[in-house]
Structure 1
Protein backbone atom coordinates (compact mmCIF):
# COMPACT_ATOMS: atom_id res chain seq x y z
CA UNK A 1 0.00 0.00 0.00
CA UNK A 2 1.62 3.26 -1.11
CA UNK A 3 1.99 6.00 1.49
CA UNK A 4 0.62 9.38 0.77
CA UNK A 5 2.52 12.63 1.36
CA UNK A 6 0.98 13.21 4.82
CA UNK A 7 2.24 9.83 6.05
CA UNK A 8 5.70 10.61 4.71
CA UNK A 9 5.66 13.96 6.53
CA UNK A 10 4.57 12.31 9.78
CA UNK A 11 7.31 9.68 9.44
CA UNK A 12 9.89 12.42 8.86
CA UNK A 13 8.66 14.41 11.87
CA UNK A 14 8.75 11.27 14.02
CA UNK A 15 12.34 10.51 12.99
CA UNK A 16 13.35 14.12 13.69
CA UNK A 17 11.72 13.92 17.12
CA UNK A 18 13.59 10.70 17.95
CA UNK A 19 16.91 12.18 16.84
CA UNK A 20 16.30 15.32 18.91
CA UNK A 21 15.36 13.28 21.98
CA UNK A 22 18.47 11.12 21.67
CA UNK A 23 20.58 14.22 21.18
CA UNK A 24 19.14 15.80 24.32
CA UNK A 25 19.85 12.67 26.35
CA UNK A 26 23.42 12.55 25.09
CA UNK A 27 24.03 16.22 25.83
CA UNK A 28 22.52 16.00 29.35
CA UNK A 29 24.73 12.99 30.05
CA UNK A 30 27.72 14.97 28.77
CA UNK A 31 26.73 17.93 30.99
CA UNK A 32 26.56 15.60 34.01
CA UNK A 33 30.03 14.23 33.25
CA UNK A 34 31.42 17.75 32.81
CA UNK A 35 29.96 18.83 36.14
CA UNK A 36 31.33 15.73 37.85
CA UNK A 37 34.78 16.34 36.36
CA UNK A 38 34.67 19.96 37.51
CA UNK A 39 33.79 19.07 41.10
CA UNK A 40 36.32 16.22 41.25
CA UNK A 41 38.96 18.65 40.00
CA UNK A 42 37.86 21.22 42.58
CA UNK A 43 38.10 18.58 45.32
CA UNK A 44 41.58 17.52 44.17
CA UNK A 45 42.74 21.14 43.99
CA UNK A 46 41.39 21.90 47.46
CA UNK A 47 42.93 18.75 48.94
CA UNK A 48 46.33 19.51 47.45
CA UNK A 49 46.27 23.13 48.62
CA UNK A 50 45.21 21.99 52.10
CA UNK A 51 48.18 19.61 52.26
CA UNK A 52 50.57 22.33 51.06
CA UNK A 53 49.31 24.84 53.61
CA UNK A 54 49.61 22.21 56.35
CA UNK A 55 53.34 22.00 55.61
CA UNK A 56 54.04 25.74 55.83
CA UNK A 57 55.08 27.09 59.24
CA UNK A 58 54.31 30.72 60.00
CA UNK A 59 56.21 32.60 62.69
CA UNK A 60 56.49 36.25 63.63
CA UNK A 61 59.09 38.31 65.40
CA UNK A 62 56.78 41.28 65.97
CA UNK A 63 56.80 41.31 69.76
CA UNK A 64 60.41 40.17 70.18
CA UNK A 65 62.30 43.13 68.81
CA UNK A 66 62.49 46.34 70.76
CA UNK A 67 61.77 48.58 67.78
CA UNK A 68 59.36 48.21 64.91
CA UNK A 69 60.87 50.88 62.68
CA UNK A 70 64.40 52.26 62.76
CA UNK A 71 65.94 55.15 60.80
CA UNK A 72 69.51 55.89 61.73
CA UNK A 73 69.63 56.36 65.51
CA UNK A 74 65.85 56.86 65.86
CA UNK A 75 63.68 53.83 66.54
CA UNK A 76 59.89 53.62 66.87
CA UNK A 77 58.95 51.18 69.64
CA UNK A 78 56.39 48.47 68.88
CA UNK A 79 53.83 49.76 71.37
CA UNK A 80 53.95 53.25 69.88
CA UNK A 81 52.37 52.11 66.61
CA UNK A 82 49.08 51.69 68.52
CA UNK A 83 49.01 55.43 69.19
CA UNK A 84 47.28 56.43 65.89
CA UNK A 85 44.51 53.90 66.60
CA UNK A 86 43.89 55.33 70.06
CA UNK A 87 43.99 58.91 68.77
CA UNK A 88 41.64 58.02 65.87
CA UNK A 89 39.09 56.44 68.22
CA UNK A 90 39.23 59.50 70.49
CA UNK A 91 38.76 61.79 67.48
CA UNK A 92 35.67 59.85 66.41
CA UNK A 93 34.01 60.55 69.75
CA UNK A 94 35.25 64.12 70.27
CA UNK A 95 35.00 65.82 66.89
CA UNK A 96 31.96 66.88 64.90
CA UNK A 97 33.64 66.14 61.56
CA UNK A 98 34.38 62.45 61.90
CA UNK A 99 36.29 62.15 58.62
CA UNK A 100 39.57 63.14 60.29
CA UNK A 101 39.07 60.50 62.98
CA UNK A 102 38.41 57.84 60.34
CA UNK A 103 41.54 58.86 58.43
CA UNK A 104 43.76 58.67 61.54
CA UNK A 105 42.15 55.37 62.61
CA UNK A 106 42.69 53.92 59.11
CA UNK A 107 46.34 54.97 59.11
CA UNK A 108 46.78 53.30 62.49
CA UNK A 109 45.16 50.04 61.35
CA UNK A 110 47.22 49.96 58.15
CA UNK A 111 50.39 50.59 60.16
CA UNK A 112 49.65 47.71 62.54
CA UNK A 113 48.81 45.33 59.67
CA UNK A 114 51.97 46.29 57.78
CA UNK A 115 54.13 45.84 60.87
CA UNK A 116 52.73 42.35 61.44
CA UNK A 117 53.12 41.39 57.78
CA UNK A 118 56.68 42.74 57.61
CA UNK A 119 57.78 40.64 60.58
CA UNK A 120 56.08 37.40 59.47
CA UNK A 121 58.32 34.53 58.37
CA UNK A 122 57.18 31.54 56.30
CA UNK A 123 59.15 28.31 56.25
CA UNK A 124 58.57 24.90 54.71
CA UNK A 125 58.49 21.83 56.97
CA UNK A 126 60.65 18.99 55.77
CA UNK A 127 58.67 16.22 54.14
CA UNK A 128 59.45 13.17 52.04
CA UNK A 129 59.36 13.15 48.25
CA UNK A 130 56.24 10.96 48.07
CA UNK A 131 54.11 13.44 50.02
CA UNK A 132 55.64 16.33 48.06
CA UNK A 133 54.69 14.73 44.73
CA UNK A 134 51.18 13.89 45.99
CA UNK A 135 50.59 17.48 47.17
CA UNK A 136 51.72 19.22 44.02
CA UNK A 137 50.32 16.47 41.78
CA UNK A 138 46.86 16.96 43.29
CA UNK A 139 47.10 20.70 42.76
CA UNK A 140 48.25 20.31 39.15
CA UNK A 141 45.70 17.62 38.21
CA UNK A 142 42.82 19.32 40.02
CA UNK A 143 43.68 22.71 38.57
CA UNK A 144 43.92 21.17 35.10
CA UNK A 145 40.49 19.53 35.39
CA UNK A 146 38.87 22.71 36.70
CA UNK A 147 40.43 24.90 34.01
CA UNK A 148 39.60 22.42 31.23
CA UNK A 149 35.93 22.31 32.23
CA UNK A 150 35.73 26.06 32.74
CA UNK A 151 37.20 26.94 29.35
CA UNK A 152 35.79 24.09 27.25
CA UNK A 153 33.99 25.27 24.14
CA UNK A 154 30.54 23.83 23.54
Structure 2
Protein backbone atom coordinates (compact mmCIF):
# COMPACT_ATOMS: atom_id res chain seq x y z
CA UNK A 1 0.00 0.00 0.00
CA UNK A 2 1.60 3.27 -1.06
CA UNK A 3 2.11 6.05 1.49
CA UNK A 4 0.05 9.13 1.06
CA UNK A 5 1.23 12.63 1.79
CA UNK A 6 -0.55 12.51 5.14
CA UNK A 7 1.33 9.35 6.07
CA UNK A 8 4.61 10.97 5.08
CA UNK A 9 3.79 14.03 7.18
CA UNK A 10 2.89 11.84 10.15
CA UNK A 11 6.16 9.91 9.78
CA UNK A 12 8.10 13.17 9.66
CA UNK A 13 6.28 14.49 12.75
CA UNK A 14 6.95 11.21 14.57
CA UNK A 15 10.68 11.38 13.78
CA UNK A 16 10.80 15.02 14.92
CA UNK A 17 9.05 14.05 18.15
CA UNK A 18 11.56 11.25 18.80
CA UNK A 19 14.49 13.61 18.13
CA UNK A 20 13.15 16.23 20.55
CA UNK A 21 12.53 13.58 23.20
CA UNK A 22 16.09 12.26 22.87
CA UNK A 23 17.60 15.73 22.97
CA UNK A 24 15.47 16.59 26.05
CA UNK A 25 16.73 13.46 27.81
CA UNK A 26 20.36 14.27 27.10
CA UNK A 27 19.94 17.91 28.15
CA UNK A 28 18.23 16.91 31.42
CA UNK A 29 21.19 14.66 32.24
CA UNK A 30 23.51 17.54 31.44
CA UNK A 31 21.46 19.92 33.62
CA UNK A 32 21.62 17.43 36.50
CA UNK A 33 25.38 17.15 36.19
CA UNK A 34 25.73 20.93 36.04
CA UNK A 35 23.60 21.34 39.15
CA UNK A 36 25.58 18.66 40.98
CA UNK A 37 28.85 20.34 39.97
CA UNK A 38 27.53 23.68 41.20
CA UNK A 39 26.52 22.32 44.61
CA UNK A 40 29.74 20.34 45.07
CA UNK A 41 31.67 23.52 44.27
CA UNK A 42 29.51 25.44 46.74
CA UNK A 43 30.22 22.85 49.44
CA UNK A 44 33.97 22.99 48.73
CA UNK A 45 33.93 26.79 48.83
CA UNK A 46 31.97 26.81 52.09
CA UNK A 47 34.22 24.18 53.67
CA UNK A 48 37.37 26.07 52.73
CA UNK A 49 36.00 29.37 54.03
CA UNK A 50 34.93 27.66 57.25
CA UNK A 51 38.45 26.30 57.77
CA UNK A 52 39.98 29.72 57.06
CA UNK A 53 37.66 31.49 59.49
CA UNK A 54 38.41 28.87 62.13
CA UNK A 55 42.08 29.91 61.99
CA UNK A 56 41.43 33.62 62.54
CA UNK A 57 41.29 35.01 66.07
CA UNK A 58 39.30 38.20 66.55
CA UNK A 59 40.14 40.45 69.51
CA UNK A 60 39.08 43.91 70.47
CA UNK A 61 40.66 46.70 72.46
CA UNK A 62 37.36 48.56 72.83
CA UNK A 63 37.12 50.16 76.19
CA UNK A 64 40.87 50.30 76.67
CA UNK A 65 41.33 52.55 79.70
CA UNK A 66 37.61 53.33 79.76
CA UNK A 67 37.93 55.82 76.90
CA UNK A 68 36.78 55.47 73.31
CA UNK A 69 38.47 58.55 71.91
CA UNK A 70 41.38 60.52 73.38
CA UNK A 71 42.91 63.84 72.35
CA UNK A 72 45.87 64.69 74.53
CA UNK A 73 44.75 64.44 78.16
CA UNK A 74 41.03 64.75 77.30
CA UNK A 75 39.22 61.50 76.63
CA UNK A 76 35.67 60.68 75.52
CA UNK A 77 34.36 57.96 77.85
CA UNK A 78 32.88 54.84 76.25
CA UNK A 79 29.46 55.50 77.72
CA UNK A 80 29.13 58.82 75.93
CA UNK A 81 29.00 57.17 72.50
CA UNK A 82 25.60 55.78 73.53
CA UNK A 83 24.26 59.32 74.02
CA UNK A 84 23.13 59.84 70.37
CA UNK A 85 21.22 56.55 70.47
CA UNK A 86 19.41 57.52 73.66
CA UNK A 87 18.71 61.02 72.31
CA UNK A 88 17.40 59.58 69.03
CA UNK A 89 15.02 57.21 70.82
CA UNK A 90 13.76 60.08 72.98
CA UNK A 91 13.26 62.26 69.89
CA UNK A 92 11.20 59.50 68.23
CA UNK A 93 8.74 59.58 71.12
CA UNK A 94 8.72 63.33 71.82
CA UNK A 95 8.71 65.03 68.41
CA UNK A 96 5.96 65.18 65.80
CA UNK A 97 8.43 65.06 62.92
CA UNK A 98 10.13 61.74 63.55
CA UNK A 99 12.69 62.15 60.76
CA UNK A 100 15.06 64.04 63.06
CA UNK A 101 14.86 61.25 65.64
CA UNK A 102 15.64 58.64 62.98
CA UNK A 103 18.62 60.67 61.74
CA UNK A 104 20.08 61.06 65.26
CA UNK A 105 19.42 57.37 66.04
CA UNK A 106 21.09 56.31 62.78
CA UNK A 107 24.13 58.47 63.50
CA UNK A 108 24.37 56.93 66.98
CA UNK A 109 24.23 53.39 65.61
CA UNK A 110 26.88 54.23 63.01
CA UNK A 111 29.14 55.69 65.73
CA UNK A 112 28.83 52.53 67.85
CA UNK A 113 29.48 50.21 64.88
CA UNK A 114 32.49 52.25 63.77
CA UNK A 115 33.92 52.32 67.29
CA UNK A 116 33.71 48.53 67.53
CA UNK A 117 35.15 48.00 64.04
CA UNK A 118 38.01 50.45 64.57
CA UNK A 119 39.16 48.62 67.69
CA UNK A 120 38.91 45.09 66.25
CA UNK A 121 42.11 43.15 65.56
CA UNK A 122 42.44 39.97 63.46
CA UNK A 123 45.24 37.47 64.11
CA UNK A 124 46.05 34.37 62.09
CA UNK A 125 46.67 31.18 64.06
CA UNK A 126 49.83 29.27 63.26
CA UNK A 127 49.08 26.28 61.02
CA UNK A 128 51.07 23.78 58.99
CA UNK A 129 51.54 23.99 55.23
CA UNK A 130 49.27 21.02 54.48
CA UNK A 131 46.26 22.57 56.21
CA UNK A 132 47.05 25.93 54.60
CA UNK A 133 47.08 24.38 51.11
CA UNK A 134 43.89 22.40 51.78
CA UNK A 135 42.05 25.50 53.04
CA UNK A 136 42.95 27.78 50.16
CA UNK A 137 42.81 24.93 47.61
CA UNK A 138 39.20 24.18 48.60
CA UNK A 139 38.29 27.85 48.26
CA UNK A 140 39.98 28.14 44.86
CA UNK A 141 38.59 24.88 43.44
CA UNK A 142 35.10 25.40 44.84
CA UNK A 143 34.98 29.02 43.71
CA UNK A 144 36.16 27.99 40.25
CA UNK A 145 33.49 25.30 39.95
CA UNK A 146 30.73 27.66 41.09
CA UNK A 147 31.83 30.45 38.76
CA UNK A 148 32.18 28.06 35.82
CA UNK A 149 28.62 26.83 36.25
CA UNK A 150 27.23 30.32 36.84
CA UNK A 151 28.80 31.81 33.71
CA UNK A 152 28.60 28.80 31.36
CA UNK A 153 27.26 29.52 27.88
CA UNK A 154 25.36 26.79 26.10
TM-score (norm 1): 0.89
Cα distance in structure 1, aligned partners of 2:107 and 2:37: 46
User: How is 1:2-151 mapped onto 2 (pairs within 5 angstroms)?
Assistant: 3=3, 5-151=5-151
Cα distance in structure 1, aligned partners of 2:20 and 2:107: 64
Q: Secondary structure at the match of 1:20?
A: helix
Cα distance in structure 1, aligned partners of 2:47 and 2:54: 11
TM-score (norm 2): 0.89
Give 1:24 shift.
Answer: 0.9
Cα distance change of structure 1 residues 6 and 132 upon mapping to structure 2, 3 Å threshold: same
- For structure 2, the residue ranges without an aligned partner over 5 or more in a row are none
Give 1:70 shift.
Answer: 2.4
Q: Secondary structure at the match of 2:126?
A: coil
Cα distance in structure 2, aligned partners of 1:102 and 1:7: 77
Root-mean-square deviation (Å): 1.8
Q: Secondary structure at the match of 1:153?
A: coil
